[in-house]
Amino acid sequence: MRAHHIPDPPTLIGPIGIFSAHPLPMLAMRGACGFPSPAEDFFREDDRLDLNEKLIANPPATFLVQADCGGSMVDYGIHDGDLLIVDRSINVRPGHTVIVLWEGGFTVKKLYRRGNRIVLAASEGYAPIVVPEDVELDVWGVVRSNVHFHV
Amino acid sequence: MSETPTFGLIDGNTFYVSCERVFDPSLRDKPTVVLGNGDGCCIALSPEAKALGLKIGTPIFQVPDAIRQQVCVRSANFALYGDLSARIVTILRDLFPRVEVYSIDENFVDVKGLKDPVAIALEARERILQWVGIPCCVGLGVTRTLAKAGNKLAKNQSKRAVKAGRLAVFHATPENIDQLPIEDVWGVGHRYAARLATEGVCNAADLASLPVEGVRARYGVTLARTQQELRGIPCGDLELEEPDRQQIVVSRMFGRDVSDPMDALATFATVACEKMRMKGLAAGALWVWLDGNPHNGNGFHVSRAIPLPLPTRDTGEVLRAVRFLATSMMRRGVQFKRVAMAITDWCMAWPVPRPTPLPPWAMPPSLRGCSMCLAGAPGVFWTLARAAPIPCSAAWPTH
């Protein structure tokens, strides 16, 4: 009965474990090279870093989205396949990276204001979209951060 | 105007459809239905779909093709709805001192003592709409029944309007509920509604004005309580503790007729056992039932239950018992439309600490990748694969 006209539901990467905590000890080395500092022996409990806490400011309004934007946002530091952490409780302002509804689909863009028009910008070589005045832009959420996986 | 409200009911408008629309903009303003029970029946309808004459519970194959081509159809995605529902509860717990989670899309809140309940209700609605994307309506009242009535009235007056603003909040008082049809009053079933209508009781205000003694004598104490609540006399407070459920039921209607429901039953048993262990319970008895397809004139129903020799929390033991029950009822050549299994008569398990997920290296190889090992980590791991259904042999009893 699963007829062909029923498309797959949107893929969520997964729910945000609001109550989960996976604290990891924070290293004081800041990615520098050399010997581990002897001061590491003196870490206290509150030196632990919880990635959820660091990346997610407002759990009930945060959605994890996988970027599917090809190279269109490389200039703004977002690569294809990155994990986008989208916070819908942030009120959008010029300069924000946003997920907007455009021509019936979701797209990631940088939002700017030019004069009294809103511009949705992307990497060089991708024409920016100038939103017509009579169109009310539907911003789905503001991208708070993105995670790029190197391996 | 009556006194300040004590309760609020916040309810997502056509919740499942709204959830689908958050992630699929192509559904906005289009007639949309969500199918439950193995893509069999409509379990949620957008207002546009209701306008086409579709009803909740209609099997989709009974809908004429001409109408079916106009509607967008989605399969229910309960993991998604549950996630969005939990977000709404989190938002409400931030704003209100007490929240009763009444159902997946309805939450009662305590607004007693708030300086401006209407303003906070509007704030809650706005937050839920922006943060989660679900439009809600809010009913306020001095009793839960009035809050529920207010919610219904708010829905009626803000129909179809996502940006309904103040219209989406309605403070119901005993004086302003005459627009609420009797069958929409909380606690009035359609049988009572029909009986009341023959006596000229057509709306909530009519019911409130009936003599109290007569209602108790002729309709019983439950409706008398409903009437008291409509008059603004509270008969119940928020139920903050989840009521002790007497059984865990998992059932499914198949999209097509199935002759071998064993895989489905194995999956149900696994799900039911996970739920049971989360609650720290053990199964005392099992119940399996199989239904034919009434639309094919095949409307039989067979069911069988057995007590277990000892209460168990072991999925393997439950699976064996379920399989025994099902094989004892299956017949060669018989097709099923719906199967269900329930864990009943359960008892509290002796205190066992909540299982923590085993690290992969510590898992026995046979259990690797199996969700039972992760049963103690709610929420985080549900995306992992479930235990595979037990293989079942083709040899059926022929008696």
- Per-residue pLDDT of chain B (399 residues), as tens digits, is 447 899 999 999 899 999 999 988 889 889 999 987 677 788 899 989 998 989 888 888 888 888 889 999 998 888 788 889 889 998 998 899 888 888 888 999 999 888 899 999 999 999 999 999 999 999 999 999 999 999 999 988 876 555 667 788 999 999 899 889 988 899 888 888 888 888 888 889 999 988 888 888 888 888 888 999 999 988 877 776 555 556 788 888 787 888 888 888 999 999 888 888 887 788 888 888 888 887 777 767 777 877 777 778 888 889 988 988 888 888 777 888 888 888 877 666 554 444 445 555 545 454 444 444 333 333 322 222 223 333 333 333 333
Q: Are B75 and B39 in contact (CB under 8 A)?
A: yes
- The minimum CA-CA distance between A6 and chain B, rounded to whole Å, is 6
Residue A17 has pLDDT above 60, yes or no: no
Question: What does the alpha-carbon distance between residue B264 and residue B261 come to, in Å, rounded to a whole number?
Answer: 5
User: Do the Cβ atoms of A20 and B80 come within 8 Å?
Assistant: no
pLDDT surpasses 90 at A120:
yes
Is residue B269 packed enough to be buried (19+ CB in 10 Å), middle (13-18) or exposed (0-12)? buried
pLDDT tens for residues B332-374?
778 888 888 888 776 665 544 444 455 555 454 544 444 443 3
Is residue B378 a contact partner of residue B275, using CB atoms and an 8 Å limit? Answer: no
Q: How far is CA B238 from CA B6, B144, B297, B302, in A?
A: 11, 8, 45, 39
Whether residues B20 and A9 touch (CB distance < 8 A) is answered with yes
Residue B299: both structure tokens together: 């409307």
Q: B25 and A138: CB-CB below 8 Å?
A: yes
Of B26, B73, B131, the CB nearest to A89: B131
| Main-chain dihedrals φ then ψ at residue B107, nearest 5 degrees | -135, 130
DSSP label at A59? G
Residues in chain B closer than 8 A to A3 (CB atoms):
73
| Cβ-defined contact of B24 to A10 (cutoff 8 Å) | yes
Closest chain B CA to residue A89: B131
- Asked if B208 and B177 touch (Cβ cutoff 8 Å), the reply is yes
Q: Across the interface, do B39 and A20 touch by the CB < 8 Å criterion? A: no
Fill in the amino acid letter for B23.
F
Contacts of A66 in chain B (CB under 8 A): none
Taking one residue from A and the other from B, the number of pairs with CB-CB distance under 8 angstroms is 76
The pTM (predicted TM-score) of the whole model is 0.69
3-state secondary structure B253-274: EEEEEECCCHHHHHHHHHHHHH
Residues of A in contact with B87 (CB under 8 A): 59-61
